[in-house]
Chain A
C-alpha cells in the first residue's frame, strides 16, 4: 500500500505546502502551551503545557508510530520556525565531522530522561514550557549556523526516539520502482531542484538528512519531510507499507547511515531506547521511591541528584553492559559465533528495539487513554484564563478509559514488543550464525524475556507519582 496513492491522504500529503499546513496547527498549540505553562496555573492537570506534552502528545506519538510512521517529525513545529529563519539566514558551515554520529544525541536523550525525573517535568508546567522553548531555540540556533538538517539528524532527542521507534512502523518513505531511479539522470531527490535560469536558486530541497532514496533502507534518520517526494521528477517516491521491524534484521549499506553492524553509536541508541523505556516506567511506581530512600541512606545524602544519577548509571549503563555482555559472550562461546563480542553486541542490540517500543507504547498509552478527554476541560480553562471563554466553563472530571481496561492494552503492547524482539533476534541469528543459530538466539531471547518480565512487573505495580521524595539539589 502506498499512502500517497490514497485518495484523501495522498492528495493532502503531496501538496507543495503540505508540511507547513500540518506544522501550523502544532505551532499554534505549542505557543499556547508555552504561554499557559509560563503564566497559567502551575498545577499540572490544569495546565496545557503539562497535559498536552505528557499525556496527549507522547501517547499520540507512539500510537501513530505503531500504526503508521514518523509523522510527528513531518508535522514538527520546531522546523516551521527554523524554515522561516532560513529565509533570512543562509548557513554555510558544515556540522563538525567528529559530531556526525549519534553520540551527542544519545547523551541528550539520556539528559532528557534524567531531567524528566529530576525536575519532575510531569508535574511542572513552568519547566515543561521552558523545555519547549529550548527545543525551538535549539533548532533555530543550530540550523541557523549549520547547513542541512543538522538539528534533526545529530541533535534532537525526540527525533532520535522517533527514528528508532519508526523501525517498527508499518510504513516508510521509499522508492516505488527502482528501475525508474536507475534511469534517472538528475537525482533531484538528494540534490534538490534548482531554478533553470538561476542555478544558485533552490526551488525544492532534496533530502537534508543525506538519505539518497534509491539506496535508502528503512526509517532511521527519515523525518518524513517529503522533500524527496516533492523533488522527484518521476513521481517515484511514496510512503509504502512494509513488514515492521524487518529493517532491524537486514544489514545492507544504508544511504546516509552505513552498516548498522558498524554503527556503535546507533546500537547504543537502541540500547538506551530499550532500557530507558524500563527506567522511565520505573519512575512512576512505588518501588522507585523505596530504592531512592535506601540509596540516600547508603550514600548519606538527602538530595535527589546523586541518588538519581546512580539509579541512571545502574539502569542505563551497568545493567545493559552486564546483560548484553553476557548475551554476547554466550553467543560466542555457546553459539559458536566467530565474531568479536563487541561486534555481536552491536549486531544483536537492535533486537531490543521492539520490546523497548512495546514498553514505551504501554507506558505512554496508559497516560493517553486514561486521560484521553482531559484536554477538553484544560483547554476550556486555558481559554477562560486567556479571557476568551468560548468553550464554556471547564468540565473537570471527564474520565478517560478505565485503568483496568487500559492495563489489558499495556500487556498486549509488551507482548507484541516481546514477539517482535524474539523474531528479530532469531532472524539475525539465522542470518549470521551458520552453525548454531538457535544457540545464538537463546541468550538474546532470554534477555528480551527478562526485559519483558520486568515490564510486566513494573506495570502491575500501583502507580505512584511523587514530585518530591528527597530534597532538590
Chain B
C-alpha cells in the first residue's frame, strides 16, 4: 500500500472521466485532487505539495495539457506529468515527452499502464526529493569549510593531481593531503568519487 501523502492531481474536462480516475486512484491508495480545467489547478497548486504527480488530458478548453506542462517546467516545479489523450498523434506525444512527461496514455486508458506510470512518477519524485535533501545537507556542511579547504576542494573536483594543486597554491603535497582529508571528513563522504558527484549535484541545482 502506498503511503498516504502521495497525491495525484487529475485534470480532465470530462466529469465522468475525472470522477472515475479519482475513484480508482483513491481506492489504489493515493490522495487525489480533481480539477475541471488547467486554470483552477494552477490556482490550487503550490510548489511544496509533497510527493505528487499530475495526470492531465491534452485537449481541454482554455489552457491545454501541453501548455500546462510547459508552464510547470518554466516555473521550476519538479512535478512529474502523465499526459492522457483522446486521439494520440506523434506531434503531441513528442511535445509531451520533450517536456519530460513520464508517460503518454491513449484513451481508453489501460489501467495497469496508468497505475504503473503513476508509480514510476512517484518513484522518480522520491529520487528527486532524496537528491534535493542530500544536496541541502551537503550545502549546509560545505559552509563549515575554511577558505583554503574550499580552494583545495574545487581543484580536486575539477580533477587536478595533488602535485598540481600543491604547485598552484604554493603549499606542499603533504599539506594538500591533509586539507583533502579534512574536507572529506567535514562533508561526510567516503571517497573522492562521491565528493565529485555531490558537488556536481549542488552546482547543477544552482544552475537550474
Q: Please determine whether chains A and B interact with each other in the same assembly.
A: no
Interface residues of B (CB under 8 A from A): none
Interface residues of A (CB under 8 A from B): none
